[in-house]
A = this chain, B = another copy of it.
Amino acid sequence: MAIAVDAMGGDRGPDVLVRGAVAASRDQGIEIVLVGIEDILKEELQRLGGGDLPISIYPASQVVDMKESPADSLRHKKDSSIRVAFELARQGKAEGIVSAGNSGATLATALVTLGRIGDVRPAIATLMPTLKKPVVMIDVGANVDCRPHHLLQFGIMASVFSRELLGNLDPRVGLLSIGEEDSKGNQQVKKAYDLLAGTDLNFVGNVEGREIFKGNVDVVVCDGFVGNICLKLSEGLAESILIMLESEVEEKLAATMHYALTKSVLRKFHKKIDYAEYGGAPLLGIRGIAIICHGLSSPKAVKNAIRVAHELARVKLADKLAKSLSKRRDLLKAA
């Protein structure tokens, strides 16, 4: 079955989405449906030489603006590329969807079309690079006011995701806080600590911001307000450090032979740690597969997101999340 790509969303327009789809289809043989304004997508697909690949186009006449309120988009844009992509998934015509568009609208549309698993709060997970393997951070923006049992749900879901996508058999789950001791944290986190400690998850306790990048845990749980700030702070800081370092290198090495070489190493590294290059963030807790990409995603990031969506559909992630949550139903009810 195909992955539906919202081909109109994102800050860079259809070109990037179609390029990513062509690459995913060519390199990995993934079947894709591009959803959006037919004429534009037909032309892009021809231009980029994707005519002979298993890529089809499904028309949607509207586009949700990046700044539009989710409620407005639901009310007034029933034929938007986001909405139509999700409808294809709901009707069983697509095995998952990928969007680099308005993430609030994507989240809201996922809820009204596919719906949530039980009464879970769907959350956005993302992979953060570390000194070792990437770590799953959850939630990075779907829920800005969480209660402790929501953090418990996030821990359960991210454990399944880490196992299925990254092959961690017994993922180590950490809770983001301001000190390692269980007495450290705000009210929300202290209660979530107790809940997580009472499960059969491989809960390793609190982790501090400093520890995330060491890669000693597989999952970092936090509420969506904190997680979103952390994610954007990381992007901004990485960017700024490299800008500062480039000017330092310029100052110190400009007169030397190896200036150009050093500069090129820096540039490549910059790309390597650029979050927009990663394959997007899965929305966990809905009855289906949806990947939310950074609005500034590159074709490579879109390609990776399509690959991840395909992989998560193949392992039936939504079913596994439902099973894992249902197994812990009593625990979640008591929380």
Residue numbers of A with Cβ under 8 A of B are 69, 130-131, 141, 144-145, 176-178, 183, 185-187, 189, 208-214, 224-226, 228-245, 248-249, 252-253, 256-258, 261-262, 265-266, 268-269, 272-273
Total copies of this chain within the assembly: 2
The closest CB in chain B to the CB of A213 belongs to: B240
CA distance A144 to B176 in the complex (A): 13
CA distance A265 to B177 in the complex (A): 34
Instruction: Check B249–A265 contact: CB distance below 8 A.
Output: yes
Shortest A97–chain B CB gap in Å is 23
Assess A212 versus B233: contact at CB under 8 Å? Given A131-B240, A141-B178, A265-B249.
Answer: yes
Assess A233 versus B236: contact at CB under 8 Å? Given A269-B245, A273-B241.
Answer: no
CA distance A241 to B225 in the complex (A): 24
Instruction: Check A237–B234 contact: CB distance below 8 A.
Output: yes
Shortest A231–chain B CB gap in Å is 7
Assess A209 versus B225: contact at CB under 8 Å? Given A243-B131, A265-B252.
Answer: no
The residues of B that contact A226 with a CB separation of less than 8 Å are 225-226, 229
Q: Which 9 A-B pairs have the closest CB atoms?
A: A209-B233, A258-B258, A209-B232, A210-B236, A213-B240, A144-B186, A210-B232, A178-B228, A209-B229
Instruction: Check A253–B261 contact: CB distance below 8 A.
Output: yes
Shortest A208–chain B CB gap in Å is 5
The residues of B that contact A252 with a CB separation of less than 8 Å are 261, 265
The residues of B that contact A269 with a CB separation of less than 8 Å are 244-245, 248
Instruction: Check A229–B208 contact: CB distance below 8 A.
Output: yes
CA distance A49 to B90 in the complex (A): 77
Shortest A17–chain B CB gap in Å is 23
Instruction: Check B253–A262 contact: CB distance below 8 A.
Output: yes
Instruction: Check A253–B265 contact: CB distance below 8 A.
Output: yes
CA distance A144 to B272 in the complex (A): 35
The residues of B that contact A145 with a CB separation of less than 8 Å are 186-187
Instruction: Check B214–A236 contact: CB distance below 8 A.
Output: yes
Instruction: Check A229–B178 contact: CB distance below 8 A.
Output: yes
CA distance A123 to B229 in the complex (A): 20
CA distance A228 to B176 in the complex (A): 11
Shortest A276–chain B CB gap in Å is 11
Shortest A206–chain B CB gap in Å is 11
Contact among B228, B236, B242 for A211, CB-based, below 8 A? B236
19 interchain pairs, CB-CB under 8 A: A178-B224, A178-B228, A178-B229, A178-B232, A185-B225, A208-B236, A209-B233, A209-B234, A210-B232, A212-B237, A213-B236, A226-B229, A237-B237, A241-B242, A241-B273, A245-B266, A256-B258, A257-B257, A257-B258
